[in-house]
Structure 1
Amino acid sequence: MTLRRLLLAAACAALPAAHALEASAQGTIRIGMTAADIPLTHGQPDQGFEGNRFTGIPLYDSLTAWDLTRGDRATPLVPSLATEWAVDANDKTKWIFRLRQGVKFHDGSDFNADAVVWNVRKVLDREAPHFDPRQVGVTATRMPTLRRAERIDDYTVALYTSEPDSLLPINLTNLFMASPAHWERKRAAAASAEAAWNAFAADPSGTGPFRMSRFVPRERAEYVRNDAYWGNKARAERIVLLPIPEANARTAALLSGQVDWIEAPAPDAIPQLRARGMRIESNAQPHVWPWQPCFAEGSPLADVRIRKAINLGIDREGLKTLLGGLMVPAVGTVQPGHPWWGNPSFQIKYDPEAAKRLLAEAGFGPQRPLSLKVQISASGSGQMQPLPMNEFIQQNLREIGVNVEFDVIEWNALFTNWRRGCKDPSARGAHAINVSFAAMDPFFAMVRFWDSKMAPPVSNNWGHFSDPRFDAMVAEARTSFDATARDAALAKLHAAGVDEALFIWIAHDVAPRAMSPRVRGFVQPQSWFVDLTLPYIQ
């Protein structure tokens, strides 16, 4: 028996036998996630965007949403619980949102303007009785200009920002609406607001297309179709989510029939999966798998020559081969031809000799090799195959005279550290952090990293990058309410970012998933997210 077969057999044995019993349940889709735990279910998920994908969007709705029904185009922003919105012509810090009428939470209470105000307060108003600090870090950092909400009438709200921000409607895809009435019932039986949120998480109430039917932390979450959903009803009767962070274990679970669908299969297992009749889904998506540099005093990556050298020292085509072709080499946050590409002069490619020359200019060479420490995870949402990928890069950089040490920590801890910054003790002296990110909108792609006001704890400027030129370019993009003008400002910003090598750009994921042929109706959009109302079991 080969080593791979032994690993698969052992992984199968390690999974609870009860999972196999659900295979005969009509209309049940069982999904093996990369997360080591079920993402938070109280309305603002953790575990990166795998949380939004599996415990956010299925259980809850936001005011705005992404159209995930097609795979042949970029995902557009569409109305969800808000039917229309506009910025005030006389006050660009005020937005008016008209709300969808007739929507019910899972507990039967009404969605209305009061519910929107309540959900904004849960993450922004420390004086609110239902304020939950655990939800702040995974929400406020994704919409940092939002300050408050005000009820105008039952189905109209005003949202106020700290400065003119044309990106607010996009940012609001991350604020999920939980039921105030359901929380109040939990609070009446709980000793504290924190205890009420814990009870809510075990029995959540949103407005989404699925309802929670069973929840076992670190083991499983089970959903049933919400037949009272205001939108298109889900085709599957039930969804079962299982945290399986190890790639071989996920593969084993699929091959043994314990699950119907796995996220991020191991690349070397794909031929075997295909040979067994499994379907491999993938698509280009706005995703970046980088090293994000620390710009603090004393960090070698504060030197643009070193950042450029590292970018030139990585063999991305070789990495693509390692991954079985399941990546796109990254030469920036977006690819050439994208409206935000611009015209950067620095060309990211594999050129080890040029890398060595830049390192020599910075004072490093065979007699004085550069040492770097990078904080990484062993798995996680969007992290692809972080251990083999980082080991491949480590070998690349050793060949140009750079010694890399890895600090490997659990994914959710890494994601939390990302919001604390490289000056925080949690960085443990790391010069870079390896957290993949979504680039489907300007804030997520660039603004939160290159605006000095986004330094921790505000958002994800982990490296404490600060440059007045970039602050001005960000402000120009944020205050451009015309889409064409905003794209032009973003193209200028992106080109400047590439020219300064503000990231070590490595890969774009293509979101590989492996599925049983029994799963039908699935659409792989150009997004980190998927629409779980579409697939079903034949």
Structure 2
Amino acid sequence: MIGRTLAAVTLTTALAAPPASAESVLRIAMTATDVPTATGMPNNGFEGMRFLGYPIFEGLVQWDLTRTDKPAGLMPALATAWEQSAEDKRVWTFHLRDGVRFHDGEPFDADAVIWNLDRYFKNDSPQFEAQGAGISRARVPIMGSYKKLDARTIQITTTQVASYFPYMAVYLLFTSPQSFEKAGRDWAKVQAVPAAGTGPFKLTKVTPRESADLARNDGYWDKSRMAKVDKIRLMPIPEANARIAALRAGQVDWIEVPAPDAIPSLKAAGFAVTTGVYPHVWPWIFNVGATNSPVKDVRVRQALNYCVDRPAVVSFLNGTAEAASGWFNDGNPDFGTPKNRYLFDPKKGKALLAEAGYTAKKPLSLKIMISASGSGQMSPMPMNEFMQENLKQACDVDVSFNVVEWQILLNSSRALPDAASLQGSNALNVSSPTSDAGVMVRYFAADRFPPNGFNFPNWTDATFDKALKTLAESSDPAEISAATKAAHERLVDDPPWLYVVHDLNPRGMSPKVKGFVSPQSWFVDLTLVSMP
């Protein structure tokens, strides 16, 4: 009922306030149930970063989202360069870009960087933001100290050596300190100011549960990336069928995650459906650490991975996904050579379950916490229902669901194993980026149990952690690759997750949308898109 109400409100708003004909306006339907927070560190996972993050607010480092032929790498943003100290590899120096101003006219400089870092990492700072701090500390768990060297140079010291630190720094976004002052030093009121970033789009208006409006930043510092559309309207429409209806009716120009069964008819009607390789896995994340958890037994975790009919899931999704037998995509050069390759093998799955004490007479029962929609969740309700039937038919596994709102599910991934909020869940269905070693560390390192990271399973493996240490401390690409392979092999052979599919990132678009590039990333470059 909530999703239908939100969709109705959103569509009514879109119809009631049509854009001026002289302006080009791109209207996007998100999967979120609400507009992500617009203070400069959005919630709602990576969908929040995709739409209310990077287009408006920037970091020292940014993703290169211009290519489709390889995973997105990093490029300079508000820092023109950075280097790791040879004497102490925990120390990183960032050289700030000159001549950049926030949307409110305030200069971007070292003082603004330190102010924002205090906002995230200094609890007693006047500008401390609890929600932004929680998100930032989870994504950058190795932040140690930081200081201003001069007006255009800052230095960050991490708590441990990490060759991949720039892949964490990309998630720290900067807001004008004046946004906080104009809001009376109240972060809850900042988005109404609205908040000012340095990005190619400016935030102009936020209407909670309805829409967020962006406008091109004509004073953007990177003249090679000037936006081609005048305005963007972002609307939360959590139900897939409601997004489809909005696209067909011409109420939006772009929808995230079209319902798989609607894709053929969308194409037949002249709409574009884009897909592309995407560093994203759709799993069940096992609650290994919970008291008396049946998934403590590695045989159970392996068995469940053998019991999934992944080709059938891909077919069910109309080819908008690829089978996942590990955290990485099977074609990733760092996949390695694990002992287990999780093809559909119910016989092997049942044998492993029997070894662990689960048979047709004493079936394994699991309770999974899932969401009805959300960032990167693909089509969670029908997919999970498919999994429920698949596991029952293939391996006599009984599955029940606890359906919650996406942000609640995301928050649950940072809960302790026996937290009451989990309601006895044996696994969480939270999709994951697989873009770089920094993400791997956050999700699986032994020192990254919540609240210090996203290792929700409380999973540990000595061989895995040894490999992580090697790739963190090495500067040799060959050695880093070998260590990454060794680490991934352990994620397959001692699986903390049930790997189901890798998303191919489908979007439905009006034929009016031109210039869109589907990069191998969770994020997109909205400056490339044009409308008539």
The TM-score with structure 2 as length reference comes to 0.95
In the TM superposition, what are the counterparts of 1:212-251 in structure 2 within 5 Å?
Answer: 212-231=203-222, 232-251=225-244
Whole-angstrom CA distance in 1 between matches of 2:306 and 2:101: 54
Query: Where does residue 202 of structure 2 map in the other structure?
Result: 211
Query: Where does residue 261 of structure 2 map in the other structure?
Result: 268
Identity fraction in percent: 43
Q: 2:370·2:429 contact (CA, 8 Å) conserved in 1? A: yes
Whole-angstrom CA distance in 1 between matches of 2:419 and 2:333: 36
What does the per-residue CA deviation read over 1:502-538, in whole Å, with 9 as the maximum and x for residues that have no partner? 2110011111000001111111111111001010112
AA aligned to 1:117 is: I
Give the alignment partner of residue 398 of structure 2, picking from 389, 400, 403. Answer: 403
Whole-angstrom CA distance in 2 between matches of 1:228 and 1:341: 44
Whole-angstrom CA distance in 2 between matches of 1:156 and 1:478: 24
In the TM superposition, what are the counterparts of 1:328-339 in structure 2 within 5 Å?
Answer: 328-339=322-333
AA aligned to 1:184 is: E
Whole-angstrom CA distance in 2 between matches of 1:177 and 1:17: 30
Deviation at 1:137, TM superposition (A): 1.7
Q: 1:40·1:201 contact (CA, 8 Å) conserved in 2? A: no
Q: 2:179·2:194 contact (CA, 8 Å) conserved in 1? A: no
Deviation at 1:429, TM superposition (A): 0.7
What does the per-residue CA deviation read over 1:106-149, in whole Å, with 9 as the maximum and x for residues that have no partner? 01011111111111111110111101111122111001001222
Query: Where does residue 15 of structure 2 map in the other structure?
Result: 19
AA aligned to 1:299 is: S
AA aligned to 1:77 is: L
In the TM superposition, what are the counterparts of 1:84-483 in structure 2 within 5 Å?
Answer: 84-186=81-183, 190=184, 193=185, 195-200=186-191, 202-231=193-222, 232-296=225-289, 297-399=291-393, 400-444=395-439, 446-483=440-477
Whole-angstrom CA distance in 2 between matches of 1:224 and 1:245: 24
Distance 1:120 1:484, change over 3 A: farther
Q: 2:363·2:396 contact (CA, 8 Å) conserved in 1? A: yes
Whole-angstrom CA distance in 1 between matches of 2:462 and 2:525: 40
Deviation at 1:467, TM superposition (A): 3.1
What does the per-residue CA deviation read over 1:378-429, in whole Å, with 9 as the maximum and x for residues that have no partner? 1001000001111111111112111011111000110111112332222111
Whole-angstrom CA distance in 2 between matches of 1:157 and 1:117: 8
Whole-angstrom CA distance in 1 between matches of 2:480 and 2:41: 29
Q: 2:7·2:236 contact (CA, 8 Å) conserved in 1? A: no
After superposing on structure 2, the runs of 4+ consecutive aligned residues of structure 1 that deviate more than 6 Å are 10-14
Unpaired runs of at least 5, structure 1: 1-6
AA aligned to 1:275 is: A
Whole-angstrom CA distance in 2 between matches of 1:230 and 1:138: 27
Q: 2:9·2:210 contact (CA, 8 Å) conserved in 1? A: no
AA aligned to 1:369 is: P
Q: 1:183·1:197 contact (CA, 8 Å) conserved in 2? A: no
Distance 1:345 1:196, change over 3 A: closer
Distance 1:196 1:293, change over 3 A: closer
Whole-angstrom CA distance in 1 between matches of 2:488 and 2:20: 48
Does the residue aligned with 2:157 lie in a helix, a strand or coil?
Answer: strand
Q: 1:375·1:407 contact (CA, 8 Å) conserved in 2? A: yes
- RMSD after superposition: 1.8
Deviation at 1:471, TM superposition (A): 2.5
AA aligned to 2:422 is: A
Whole-angstrom CA distance in 1 between matches of 2:357 and 2:465: 30
Give the alignment partner of residue 76 of structure 1, picking from 73, 84, 89. Answer: 73
Query: Given the alignment of the two structures, is residue 44 of structure 1 paired with residue 41 of structure 2, yes or no?
Result: yes
What does the per-residue CA deviation read over 1:225-261, in whole Å, with 9 as the maximum and x for residues that have no partner? 0000011210010000000000000000000010000
After the TM superposition, which of the residue ranges 218-227 and 146-155 deviates more from structure 2? Answer: 146-155
Q: 1:12·1:253 contact (CA, 8 Å) conserved in 2? A: no
AA aligned to 1:308 is: Q
AA aligned to 1:422 is: P
After the TM superposition, which of the residue ranges 306-315 and 413-422 deviates more from structure 2? Answer: 413-422
Whole-angstrom CA distance in 2 between matches of 1:409 and 1:456: 20
Whole-angstrom CA distance in 1 between matches of 2:524 and 2:54: 9
What does the per-residue CA deviation read over 1:76-135, in whole Å, with 9 as the maximum and x for residues that have no partner? 111111111111111111111111110000010111111111111111101111011111
AA aligned to 2:354 is: A
Distance 1:293 1:13, change over 3 A: closer
Deviation at 1:273, TM superposition (A): 1.2
AA aligned to 2:292 is: G
Whole-angstrom CA distance in 2 between matches of 1:282 and 1:327: 9
Does the residue aligned with 1:280 lie in a helix, a strand or coil?
Answer: strand
Distance 1:361 1:196, change over 3 A: closer
Q: 1:23·1:258 contact (CA, 8 Å) conserved in 2? A: no
Deviation at 1:23, TM superposition (A): 8.1
Deviation at 1:466, TM superposition (A): 2.4
Whole-angstrom CA distance in 2 between matches of 1:196 and 1:416: 20
Q: Paired residues, what number?
A: 524
AA aligned to 1:530 is: V
What does the per-residue CA deviation read over 1:200-249, in whole Å, with 9 as the maximum and x for residues that have no partner? 46511000111111110110000110000011210010000000000000
Whole-angstrom CA distance in 2 between matches of 1:198 and 1:462: 32
Deviation at 1:369, TM superposition (A): 0.6
After the TM superposition, which of the residue ranges 205-214 and 16-25 deviates more from structure 2? Answer: 16-25
Q: 1:137·1:419 contact (CA, 8 Å) conserved in 2? A: no
AA aligned to 1:26 is: E
Distance 1:311 1:29, change over 3 A: same
What does the per-residue CA deviation read over 1:416-455, in whole Å, with 9 as the maximum and x for residues that have no partner? 11112332222111111110011111121x2122211100
Whole-angstrom CA distance in 1 between matches of 2:351 and 2:154: 58
AA aligned to 1:462 is: F
AA aligned to 2:398 is: N
AA aligned to 2:230 is: E
Q: 1:120·1:148 contact (CA, 8 Å) conserved in 2? A: no
Distance 1:496 1:11, change over 3 A: closer
Distance 1:241 1:202, change over 3 A: farther
Deviation at 1:14, TM superposition (A): 7.8
Whole-angstrom CA distance in 2 between matches of 1:102 and 1:275: 49
